[in-house]
Chain A
């Protein structure tokens, strides 16, 4: 059956002779989704590591009240760069790496729709981050006005300023090209018979994420362009003297920034919706409602941006609208959490490492969601705004949320990628250390924040000391626990400790989907022809 395509025979010959290049040129020139997925994931690791070191500098300074290690200016540039690295360098490329690897395998195609553009999207990242990180060595230091770049403070940045702005433009190009690629792949490259409502939920989550990216990354580009012209070309967008308004920047920025928050978490929803059914050995509860919930969250994310700005002096009608719209998001999110729990109800559960991380995701992300609801209430937000309560909230949704889901996904799929099983015992150690230390890091920050400790300040009043000591110990513990993970994964990649390439095609007995029908490791171009769909794989995913 695979030989009925004579009309494209010459195209096939081309590919047959084009195996991957050798050495470094393989990685520079590659158009293969698996190679690029690997590059994305290793890049994401690197950025997590650098951003993690920055967070350790922050936590070391906050271990004790008073100034011990760094100057306030450098402290602020650490908080700024930590955020930029973790968001644009860690979480987003991590999820794009997962999309690269898994979307073509899940929908049954050979590669993303635009492989060269995919290569471009990746290679922008190391260059752009090199440019961004180089600012730390410039006169005036790195950017220190916070990752949100609010004017007029941000306009006081030294030589670093244009380098920061242009690196953000480049990251925007990378995200938009990557997102267009994912959308087009999903809409156009599905194997016959895979209708939209039969797609695995990870694919659905990425489709909506990609749509959000295409819609808001250009807005961020516009916002930072206005910053640039305000600083160098005499425009008055954010200057009241000329009729503009610094708050305008906050509106434009958060019109990007709030959908961005969902860009960081929707793929995580997809991952968890994939992993829980596998280890509960049931199909996902409420597949259709999961899709509609994703779409609703995607839509609502566009009309809640100003809940980041309750204290800035908006008209009352604005405060009310954004408060209620924000609370509305709890409805589809609640649907998702309910469905994950209902999927496990009366399932035959086992607790391998990916499942542990997915379960921790459900519980800890929900805690982050609840503190989000508290922040959504305008009157009380006046109390919480810019305190460590906010820091605790978004780290709960980002670290045991987004980052845990990336870790879970890597444990879940690494046997498929490398053909080698990870070490389960090390995985369990990694999970329990991570789960304990991450709570030790961020749970006390709720209390510090409620008691009034300000974020982005290198010093604090002595009554916050105990909370901060706990937080700092947790941060160091979490950071070093990740080395278990790194070695576990590298051992799978390179066959250390005598690990054999003996993973079966269906690594997990409860796993369903096209990716489990091919060998482990999967072939270089998984499906060179659209594969026939085994009905059993799909009905198990979508339940219909």
Chain B
């Protein structure tokens, strides 16, 4: 090579070629084409969905297994550690922007579209000619009362309990982190199981809340723009809690196998960051979806 290496630097780490990304894409296409056909009633049947989904999960597992082996095999230096930190931060940022789209939709519906339909500002004609008699308010399922009358879930009932559960889980995962840094394996694992317990309890109550909304309150996805924003925001959050819980279980099992060191455990920290992100999104939801 024509150039000289700079002194006091690490070699760059470059992984070996891998077929997992290609297979993962194929699996995702199978899954999504299956879902698309299902949505359009093309009578392809659910097989592509099951097959694609199962294959995707298997490939994600195998891909991460490779990464774990490389990490535990000591192939990662300080630079790779920084790479993962940066990458995880930016990934979480992209997730924030995804939720931003739905929070934005909620803001727009509450503060702009519903008042406009009621004739606010320069939109008087809209109200007079199209939706005469409609008055703005929140919650609202619009001037056509899409989905029929519904009730909402009071903030200071199950949602408050769920807030406490998630905040507690944030505390317990921090305790686990301190124990890990102090080199105490057993307390680490116990605090982790406590965190998982809080996560699962959250999901259980959330599912319970959905069942109540559908069966007793007539609050459904069809309940106009309130139902739309309520279920999309809490639903995507619930999916992220589910994913986060799976991630927590994964690193807890890894901790029990003896993975991670007191001074080097980004796999743990990355999951903790993700869990805190899910926690913060919930606080936003609690305030603007349930409370205000």
Contact = CB atoms under 8 A, between A and B. Distances in A.
Nearest to A187: B86
A111 B97 contact: no
A236 interface: yes
Interface in B51-101: 63, 75, 77, 79, 82-83, 86-87, 90-91, 93-95, 97-98, 100-101
A44 to B, nearest CB: 18
Contacts of B75: 10-11
B140 to A, nearest CB: 5
A2 interface: yes
Interface in A158-215: 159, 161-163, 166-167, 169-170, 176, 179-181, 183-184, 187-189, 191-193, 214-215
A533 B109 CA distance: 55
Interface stretch (A72-80, A245-253, A346-354, A442-450): A245-253
B25 A218 contact: no
Contact of B35 (A166, A216, A233, A245): A166
B14 interface: yes
A245 B79 CA distance: 48
A123 interface: yes
Contacts of A530: 5-6, 9-10, 12
A419 B168 CA distance: 61
A53 to B, nearest CB: 24
A244 interface: yes
B86 A529 contact: no
A124 B25 CA distance: 6
Contact of B101 (A5, A115, A127, A218): A218
Contact of A517 (B3, B36, B77): B3
Nearest to B226: A243
A116 B97 contact: no
A214 B225 contact: no
Given A131-B29, A530-B9, A189 B225 contact: no
A531 B22 contact: no
A163 B29 CA distance: 10
Contacts of A192: 6, 8-9
Majority secondary structure of chain B interface residues (helix, strand, loop or mixed): helix
A239 to B, nearest CB: 7
Contacts of A229: 221, 228, 232
Contact of A163 (B7, B15, B33, B95): B33
B83 A113 contact: yes
Contacts of B19: 25, 28-29
Interface stretch (B111-119, B154-162, B189-197, B203-211): B111-119
A424 interface: no
Contacts of B1: 2, 518, 523, 527-528
A221 interface: yes
Given A166-B32, A240-B142, A243-B142, A529 B9 contact: yes
Contacts of B15: 31, 115-116
B61 to A, nearest CB: 15
B2 interface: yes
Contact of B121 (A5, A124, A236, A315): A315
Nearest to A530: B9
A519 interface: yes
Chain A interface SS verdict (over half)? helix
A5 B6 CA distance: 11
A438 interface: no
Given A29-B17, A127-B29, A162-B39, A243 B141 contact: yes
Contacts, number: 287
Given A5-B10, A170-B28, A244-B113, A237 B225 contact: yes
B5 A2 contact: yes
B21 interface: yes
Nearest to A256: B101
B25 A532 contact: no
B104 interface: yes
B292 interface: no
Interface residues of B, number: 83
B257 interface: no
Given A120-B24, A245-B108, A248-B109, A505 B93 contact: no
A218 B102 CA distance: 11
Given A214-B93, A243-B114, A245-B109, A189 B79 contact: yes
Contacts of B7: 1, 4, 532
A532 B1 CA distance: 12
Given A189-B79, A222-B101, A239 B146 contact: yes
Contacts of B109: 237, 243-245, 248
B3 A518 contact: yes
Contacts of B86: 113, 183-184, 187-188
Interface stretch (A12-20, A88-96, A396-404): A12-20
Most buried by A among B26, B33, B63, B130: B33
B184 to A, nearest CB: 29
Contacts of A529: 5-6, 9, 11-12
B144 A242 contact: yes
A533 B10 contact: no
A514 B11 CA distance: 18
Interface string B170-204: 00000000000000000000000000000000000
A111 B17 CA distance: 13
B215 interface: no
A114 interface: yes
A77 to B, nearest CB: 17
B232 A31 contact: no
Interface string A88-129: 000000000000000000000111011111011001100110
Contacts of A218: 94-95, 97-98, 100-101
A156 interface: no
Nearest to B16: A18
B5 A1 contact: yes
Contacts of A216: 97
A127 B31 CA distance: 12
Given A242-B144, A243-B117, A183 B6 contact: no
A1 B109 CA distance: 64
Given A18-B17, A236-B141, A525-B12, 8 more contacts: A113-B87, A120-B24, A123-B22, A222-B101, A235-B221, A242-B141, A245-B108, A519-B2
Interface of A: 1-2, 4-5, 8, 10-12, 14-15, 18, 20-21, 25-26, 28-32, 109-111, 113-117, 119-120, 123-124, 127-128, 130-131, 159, 161-163, 166-167, 169-170, 176, 179-181, 183-184, 187-189, 191-193, 214-219, 221-223, 225-226, 229-230, 232-237, 239-245, 247-248, 251-252, 255, 315-316, 505, 514, 517-519, 523, 525, 527-533
The 10 A-B residue pairs with the shortest CB-CB distance, nearest first, are A222-B101, A243-B142, A120-B21, A529-B5, A235-B228, A241-B144, A162-B36, A218-B98, A243-B225, A242-B224
Interface of B: 1-22, 24-26, 28-29, 32-33, 35-36, 39-40, 42, 63, 75, 77, 79, 82-83, 86-87, 90-91, 93-95, 97-98, 100-102, 104-105, 108-109, 112-114, 116-117, 121-122, 130-131, 140-144, 146-147, 220-222, 224-229, 231-232
